[in-house]
Each structure stands twice: as structure tokens, then as C-alpha cells.
Amino acid sequence: MLQLGSRTLVMGVVNVTPDSFSDGGLYLDTDLAISHALRLLDEGADLLDLGAESTRPDSHAGEIGSAAVSAEEEQARLLPVLEGVMKARPEAVISVDTYKSATARAAVNAGAQIVNDVSGFTWDSQMAATCVELACGVVLMHTLGMPEEWKTQPALERESVLSLVRDGLLASLRAALDAGIPRGAIVLDPGYGFGKRFDENYDLLARQSELLSLGCPLLAGVSRKSFLVRTLAESKMYSGQRVTEEARETASIAALAAAILHGASIVRVHQVKAAVEAAAIADAVLAAR
């Protein structure tokens, strides 16, 4: 059981992939991935999110049985890391970042407690029933379109971004509840960067707290997202020059604090220590309010 609301929980990201947009290939080696996961726990992560397929723009994620990473390959990358972490830290809370029901089943059977589906149960028709059977927690994220479409999708009307996300999350929530997943097992994720282009993400972040009307806690994943980098690149300091890694992390922390102040109960991050510290300050502001 995770208590949500008394303080912000920090979810540390472990990408066991060769091509994730921010750290692809760094932790493809099983031992390196396990060491990284344990380091994130030592730095204060409340839970980990393990993923073995990139959903970056231009990827073919979601195309089950086509050009996407197969469930077999995904599990071959993921399960040894999951098992290694659980062996070293049996008390760890592990989320598996997958939209495939077969991988969700294998991961939960290996010790994961949460399924984080970036498609919100829309890319695999068996996912909802599988999660009911597994009795696991679920994170349902909003995604607009498919990754290979994101760069060419038409811009959204600024006033429609929130309603579009709310409607999509409501549909995913209803699918989960109708399948038999308890409301208390569900967290919703607005899906920053997943089909939202640049400033559309700020429109969403500014009104994120309105999504609490759906009756579920919120998870926000703003760490290292490209809309933050673009803002810096267009600023006076950089004027289109390459944004440093340090600046990218600073921007991530700023967006993380905004997400917490706008209702997020969980934040998904790549660098845990700074996120834990920033979350403590944001939580203090909320407590004072």
C-alpha cells in the first residue's frame, strides 16, 4: 500500500533500453541497470519505474506484432533487472512501464506491484482484464496519437488541451473501473509530451489540478521533457544554443515543483536526490496553504 497525499512520492526511472530519448543505452546492461536502480532507492526514491521499450517520438511503440519491440525482447531486457532489484531490496515498490499485457503479467509475477501503461489501456485490449486478474496497481496515462505521428500532428487549440486530456483520462478510467479495477488502485497521468506539442504542455500544467475532479491521484512525468529544453533554448541565456545537461535538470526541477503545487501526488524523475529535496519544499508550501 502507498499512502498518497501526505507527501509527494518520488518515482525513479530506470530505462533498460538502447534508445530512450534521455538515457538510452546507459543502463541496457543488466548489472548497470540494477546498480542504477539501487542507487535511486538509496537517494530516496519511494518507488521505481522500470521500462524496456522507448516511447520517444518516431518510435513504433503501440504497434503490437509489428515494428515495436516484441514482448519477448521486452521481457528479456526487463525481467533480469526486476529480479535483481527485488533480490537486493525485497521491500522495493516496482512499477513496470509497459503497454503489453504479456509483459505486465510476467513482471507482476516476478515481483512488480504496479503496471504503468502509457496508452491508458488503449493499445492492448487485454491489459485491463490482465490487471484485474493480477490485482495490481495501475497508472493510466493520456497519449494523443501514436509516437510516429507526434511531430506532424496539428497544433491543438490552447483552450482545448485540458478538456482533451480530461476526456481521454476519463475514458481510460471508465475502462478500468468497468473491468473491475478498484478506484483505489488507479493513478492518472496527464502524459506530458505524449502527443502534446511544446507550449501545449504548459497549458496543461497550469491547469493540471482540475484533473483531480476525476477522483484519482495524479502522477506527473515532466523530467527532461523536450518542451522544457525548447523554452531554455529560446531564452536570452541560450538564444538557440545547445542547452546544457545541468540546465535541463534545473528546468526539470522547476517543472516538478509546479506539478506538485498543481496537484501531483507522484512525480516521475530521472535524478532522484534533487527531486526529493524539491518535493520537500513544495510539500511545505502546500502544508502552509
| pLDDT tens for each residue of 77-116 | 999 999 999 999 999 999 999 999 999 999 999 999 999 9
Q: How far apart are CA 120 and CA 176, in angstroms?
A: 9
Domains identified in the chain and CATH numbers: 9-288 (3.20.20.20)
The answer to whether 281 touches 257, Cβ cutoff 8 Å, is: yes
pTM of structure: 0.92
Buried b (16+ CB within 10 A) or exposed e, 118-129: bbbbbbbeebbe
> Among all residues, which ones are annotated catalytic?
225, 268
Q: Over range 166-183, report the average pLDDT.
A: 98
SS3 (DSSP) at 266: strand
- 52-73: pLDDT as tens digits: 998 866 656 666 655 479 999 9
DSSP state of 160: G
Give backbone dihedrals phi and psi of 229, rounded to 5 degrees, phi first: -65, -40
How many helices and strands in the chain, by DSSP H and E? 9, 8
Query: Which of the 8 DSSP states describes residue 243?
Result: P
Burial class (CB in 10 A: 0-12, 13-18, 19+), 48: buried
The pLDDT of 241-256, averaged and rounded, is: 94
Question: Rounded to an integer, what distance in angstroms lies between the CA atom of residue 248 and that of residue 86?
Answer: 31
